[in-house]
Amino acid sequence: MTAILGVLNVTPDSFSDGGRWERLDDAVAHAQRMRDAGADWIDVGGESTRPGSVAVDPREEQDRVLPVVRALADADIPVSIDTRNAATARAAVEAGATMINDVSGGLYDPHMGPVAAETGVRFVVMHWRGGVDVAPEYIDVVSEVRSELKARLAELIVFGVKPEQLIIDPGLGFAKTAQHNWELLRGLDQLTQLAPVLIGASRKRFLGRLLPPNAPLGKRDAPTATISALAASAGAWGVRVHDVAATRLALDVWDHWKTGGAGDSD
């Protein structure tokens, strides 16, 4: 079964929902709604990585995320911490998080690999060439991303991270054009040979190109759910989404397609 990570940004400036979940009660309530809608994990982030975003001091990041992580862990809701900072990752795991999701794949903070090794939690390693504002330059994006992720996994294993902890993310939208994103999705089977794959396409700009100009961000949830189902059919381990209910329904449709409706009585 493909896992669903529900996005919970406790930031003032995230591109999709910045400022909506800054209050602890609002964040926890939204996380519970996503859990009830079918999320397997809540992915809590305290630093925006949208184009033009500014790095947040790890102490401020921790002030944003740790109360939420503790509250969700106390409610037995599985938590992933979305951070590039090793200190935040360690503190979040101590507060109850059981997965680290690092958009830099451990390259931004050299202490991240050792923290992943010491904590033993699952570690999402995203393909990274320096962020969303870096110019996208590839000859063959699928083979290059695959090669760079393979090398990164090998480096992390040297740090002591166990292979079974590792999940990879091709980094859609990070130093990649819309065409690069689509090529990576089409070539997903080449990535699933390396490690379990997480796909994070939710509400990203390249999906907006399928819609009328100036369409609200929420209109990107339908193509996101479609990508979720197609990613599941291609063997993805998980998807990271804002609209959990739409993706849960899409994945249920794929599951019934795959099994021929086994278990349905009429």
| Residues with a known catalytic role | 204, 240
Bridge partners of 123? 100, 166
Residue with tokens 């320096």: 130
The one-letter code for the residue type at 86 is: A
Residue 120 one-letter amino acid: G
Say which residues have a Cβ less than 8 Å from residue 136's Cβ, sequence separation at least 6: 175, 176, 177, 180
Q: In what order do the strands lie in the sheet with 122-126?
A: 166-169, 122-126, 99-102, 79-82, 41-45, 3-9, 238-241, 198-199
Q: Token digits for 224?
A: 């996101």
